[in-house]
Structure 1
């Protein structure tokens, strides 16, 4: 296990340092940093986030997930989260990678093996220990990135193996339900996609339930079970995440950004922004700019 993690760390570090990426997996990310950072926000997509060295904490509503070297996080659908690196130093940087989970691959594997049940009662984010077989498959995938001709032929097969290992791992149900059309995650996923298209306007839960084809009670129950929040709380998080992205491009336009994402009151916007990110918009942008300049 240690040997495999060491090679994984080395390969991710080499990939992150490449000036160009002639061969890459669509949606794959690598992160190498020597410092811990204050919380950053974003919207996850179905992904496996694997830590090779160091540690990280991801927060979904009031749920906190800590994971470190040799562990991975699974996000089953698009979710607004905040996260910060908890273990990193110049001697031992934080090293991690994110591999998108493909619904088509999971569905295909379910059909070939007789399908499965939506038997996972956990939220849309889970963590687990990576076993040697999973780590070995990930390392083999990264090796192929150094050999474009081999990657073109063998890459899809190794990606498929990684999906299979995850589907049969300790959090396999969370991965399998990504590929199930009738799963709770699929239902909530349709709801979150609708909210994402309408995040900047007033949403009526009855209208959303009609769009999804379920009762309001069913929608609320499944939505909270998967996302740890109500649909309206989810919309608020999306608004604030989008506002933060806009402010990075226009840090002095606080009131205008608040109105653009759906707030009628600048004071309410600043209050809710501070509640999520820890500081009001102007101060948060100043901190981010300082952090970026130091890291540049």
Structure 2
């Protein structure tokens, strides 16, 4: 727990309000004293450790709760709805996010003989939550301590990042992390299809074309996509569309029907129905309560 306290102090020293990029490549810190309403966004491949406060993340209707000492790992881009549910001036929400670099994971796997040798045929979930062991907290605390000694970053930063990756690879989320670094893993093939959906979320989607992009048969693609993301390709696309629509409604685009059309819906009633099902409120109510987007 002392190492978690060290992490909290480091975040507090170096975070402004909201998300702050640090001098450590791929490392950001978060600090906020406010709870937030549910906001849709896309998680990128990263390790996120919470040092204070509590956050809820909803992935395809399943709610995950994580607080101080818990960590979240994602291996592909995932559309989620997140809200900070415990944060105030005395106990702010604090977190550190470390991007997961495929090349560095691959190098570590090569040097360690695969770190357990899990098969590339596995399709582990792309999303995992757990309680951080002391070994992981210790490595993260020492990485963040470099922020107080900028001259040490170039010499020590890469080694500490490698240690953190090793702790992840040998921990409960190891299969998820391992797939990121295997050049011919199914995750890598599925990522190509996921990127296409992200870039073309407003366009009609054909599973057969996506399967070809991932070099899989349609049935195999559908099965592995569902295992990886907990969503079908159509559900994934729908979440992207609705998350984007909510962001537009919250940040100044108040024509509900036009927003629905802009994200790919051809029926205003279907847009309103699916929006209400996902966020628990009608698009028009979101417009009335519009505030600047939160974390």
TM over 0.5: yes
Post-superposition shift, 1:18? 8.3
For 1:86 and 1:249, how far apart are their aligned partners in 2? 21
* Equivalent residue number for residue 55 of structure 1: 54
Inter-partner Cα distance in structure 2 for 1:209 and 1:284: 36
Asked if the contact 1:251/1:282 (under 8 Å) is kept, the reply is: no
Q: Judging changes above 3 Å, is the alpha-carbon distance between structure 1 residues 144 and 252 closer, same or farther for their aligned structure 2 residues? A: same
Cα pair distance change 1:110/1:25, threshold 3 Å: same
* Match runs of 1:52-131 below 5 Å: 52-115=51-114, 116-118=117-119, 122-131=124-133
Instruction: Say whether the 8 Å CA contact 1:63–1:228 is kept in structure 2.
Output: no
TM-score w.r.t. length of structure 1: 0.90
Sort the Cα spacing of 1:259 and 1:39 in 2 relative to 1 into closer, same or farther, 3 A: same
RMSD (Å), alpha carbons: 2.5
Instruction: Give the aligned partner of residue 263 of structure 1.
Output: 265
Aligned partner of 1:211 among 213, 225, 242: 213
Deviations 1:32-60 (A, max 9, x none): 22333221210011011101122222111
Tell me the SS of whatever aligns to 2:41. strand
**Is there any run of 5+ residues in structure 1 with no aligned partner, and where?**
none
Query: Structure 2: where are the runs of 5+ without partners?
Result: none
Q: Does 1:225 align with 2:224?
A: no
1:6 aligned residue: 5
Distance 1:91 1:123, change over 3 A: same
- Cα offset for 1:252? 1.4
Aligned counterpart, 1:237: 239
Taking structure 1 as reference, are residues 172 and 247 closer, same or farther at Cα in structure 2, changes over 3 Å only? Answer: same
Supply the distance in 1 between the matched residues of 2:211 and 2:218 (Cα, whole angstroms): 5
SS of the residue 1:136 aligns to: helix
Residue pairs, 1:134-145, within 5 angstroms: 134-145=136-147
Determine if contact 2:146/2:152 at 8 Å carries over to the other structure: yes
Q: C-alpha deviations, 1:219-277, integer Å up to 9, x for none?
A: 11001111111101111111112222333443313222221211112222222122212
Question: Which of 137, 145, 148 matches 1:146?
Answer: 148
TM norm structure 2: 0.90
Q: Write out aligned runs for 1:170-181 (5 A).
A: 170-181=172-183
How far apart are 1:83 and its partner, in Å?
1.6
Which one is further off, 58-67 or 77-86?
58-67
Aligned length: 292
